[in-house]
Structure 1
Amino acid sequence: MPAMKNLVLAVALCLDNGVPPAALAADAAPTVTIENAFSPDGGAEALVLKVIDSAASTIRLAAYSFSSPHVVEALLRARQRGVDVRVLADTRRNARKNSRAALDRLVGAGIPTRLISRYALHHDKYIVADGVTVQNGSFNYTADAATANSENVLVVWNSERLAQSYLAHWENRWASGIDYARRPAAALAPRP
């Protein structure tokens, strides 16, 4: 029964993201696996951290809201392991002090970080790890997402085709972003 549940989740994920189910089947070697978790019981954050901690070469993170100390620490550990980490976040949503502090830590550690304001909201919330694993869901990278909100996380491990679709989207948004370290002062002015 778990195999059927995973297949149904994979097909739903593909359809929701414009990837034909055949694309998943094309690389559906036995190593493609799916995990999911929910918050606020801590399971969602633990799964996000598992993805970050598993990365060996690259992490591309797209965030709407970014302030989680646990996610920051995991990204810093990845950077120390030699993983090429890059973070993209919504400009307006990350004007708060705790978000700026989190982003400052990343930049201070040499992690390229950009803000994007091209859209009404940069509402993406996903990670592409090593070009083969995708973490997606409603989970914002915040403490509240882990401890207070009802959130979900879905991870598709070892699906290069799906990961490449997300990576192309991420790279498109990255090209539209501005470097956090060189942002205009007004870009992160506190909200009224």
Structure 2
Amino acid sequence: MNRLVSLSVLLCLMAACAPSPARAAFTRASNAEPIQLWQDASIFQLIHALIDTARHRVLVEVYEIGRPDLISQMVNARHRGVDVRVVTDPTVQASRSAAAELDREGVPELFYPVDDAAHQIDHVKLLIADGEAVVGGMNWGAHSSRNHDYVVDTRMPGDLDRLTQIFEQDWSLAQGRPSPLTPRAGDIGQTAPGHEIRAMLRRVIGAARMRILAEVYTFTDPDVIAALAAARRRGLDVRILLDPSQPYNRPTFQLLRSSGVSVRWYPVPPGALLHAKAGLFDGELLLGSANWTYSGLDVNHELDVETADKRAVAGYETRFENDWATSPP
């Protein structure tokens, strides 16, 4: 109870320094709120608070780790007796440097054993701190806070159980003891092992009857392009925002536009990215680490979360409409 109170106070103090309303963090209304949507730089307010107040466990699996402040926080948590374990991707220089520093400080860390022949990466972004988990698209890089991105903060017991199982699956794999989870349908999906995220995306697109509003960093998968075109032919409001800095998005942009889908380039500020991989399908919000590409849906190790939480859906819808209005037609 003391941890919940202290975390609530800390988040409230941080919220006072949040960005402008269109880009502000959606702070918790109460300790009982089971789902929370966070976006952009405010995500790191949440991460700081969770690591600082953790008493039992801090489990981290993040593709890029390069923020000295978060490395120091994990070290401090370890020194106060918290079970801190870190899995990261060996192909990222910043993550290799972070892993070396964590190792020197006695923090258990492992590299995910990526399949080099398949050009695989461990693209997951996951933090589990005691009874709370953060899943989404935000890396922990030195400049990641500049990017437009989302995470879901969840206290749902079923989500926590599955996310913990996925972390332990990956920890065991990194130790040379592979024990892949049995694929299953649910609000948490992974890629490699399995194709749960592709199945989730296929399902929510097919089930949508009114609208599909998506912001995607890299989008090249032909099956998803075809599914969105089919949704537009069914009469849905289909609108897609893409990052103009990714050359792979240009053929997708033309294909979507020629099929009647409304698509725009997100106006990224200098030095920033539209790094989100998120979509609203009627009242279902799906977001996470997986780009809408063959690599993201079939090759890389990825992690996504789906929620129908009304506050999260409303928060995403508000931000999307603001982004759409400021993106040139």
Q: Quickly name the TM-score band, shorter chain normalised.
A: 0.5 to 0.7
| Structure 1 residue 54, shift from structure 2 partner | 2.3
Aligned residue pairs total 142
1:102 to 80, 89, 98: 98
What is the aligned-residue RMSD (CA, Å)?
1.9
User: Partner residue of 1:170?
Assistant: 167
**Whose helix proportion is higher, 1 or 2?**
1
Gaps of 5+ in 2: 1-30, 177-329
User: Partner residue of 2:158?
Assistant: 161
Question: How far does the alpha carbon of each residue in 1:159-185 deviate from its partner, in whole angstroms, 9 at most, with x for none?
Answer: 332111001111111111159xxxxxx
Letter in 1 for 2:141: T
> Quick check: 1:136 aligned with 2:132?
no
Tell me the SS of whatever aligns to 1:143: coil
d(CA) in 2 for partners of 1:78 and 1:35? 24
Identity over aligned pairs, percent: 24
Question: How far does the alpha carbon of each residue in 1:14-45 deviate from its partner, in whole angstroms, 9 at most, with x for none?
Answer: xxxxxxxxxxxxxxxx8343333222xx3111
d(CA) in 2 for partners of 1:105 and 1:90? 15
User: Partner residue of 2:121?
Assistant: 121
Q: TM-score, normalised by structure 1?
A: 0.67
d(CA) in 1 for partners of 2:165 and 2:32? 23
Letter in 2 for 1:128: I
Tell me the SS of whatever aligns to 2:127: strand
> Quick check: 1:90 aligned with 2:89?
yes
Question: How far does the alpha carbon of each residue in 1:101-142 deviate from its partner, in whole angstroms, 9 at most, with x for none?
Answer: 322221111111000133412111011122x21111111111
Question: How far does the alpha carbon of each residue in 1:71-121 deviate from its partner, in whole angstroms, 9 at most, with x for none?
Answer: 1121112112211100001121x2x1x333322221111111000133412
Tell me the SS of whatever aligns to 2:143: helix
> Quick check: 1:112 aligned with 2:102?
no
Runs of 4+, deviation exceeding 4 Å: none
* 8 Å Cα contact 1:118/1:176 also seen in 2: no
d(CA) in 1 for partners of 2:165 and 2:34? 22
Please identify the structure whose Cα radius of gyration is greater.
Answer: 2
Change (3 A) 1:102 1:142: same
Tell me the SS of whatever aligns to 2:60: strand
Q: TM-score, normalised by structure 2?
A: 0.41
Change (3 A) 1:91 1:100: closer
Letter in 2 for 1:50: A
* 8 Å Cα contact 1:38/1:151 also seen in 2: yes
User: Partner residue of 2:32?
Assistant: 31
* 8 Å Cα contact 1:79/1:85 also seen in 2: yes
Q: Which has the higher contact order (CA 8 A, sep 6+)?
A: 1
* 8 Å Cα contact 1:125/1:139 also seen in 2: yes
Tell me the SS of whatever aligns to 2:81: coil
* 8 Å Cα contact 1:51/1:135 also seen in 2: no
Gaps of 5+ in 1: 1-29, 180-192
Question: How far does the alpha carbon of each residue in 1:47-67 deviate from its partner, in whole angstroms, 9 at most, with x for none?
Answer: 111121221101111111111
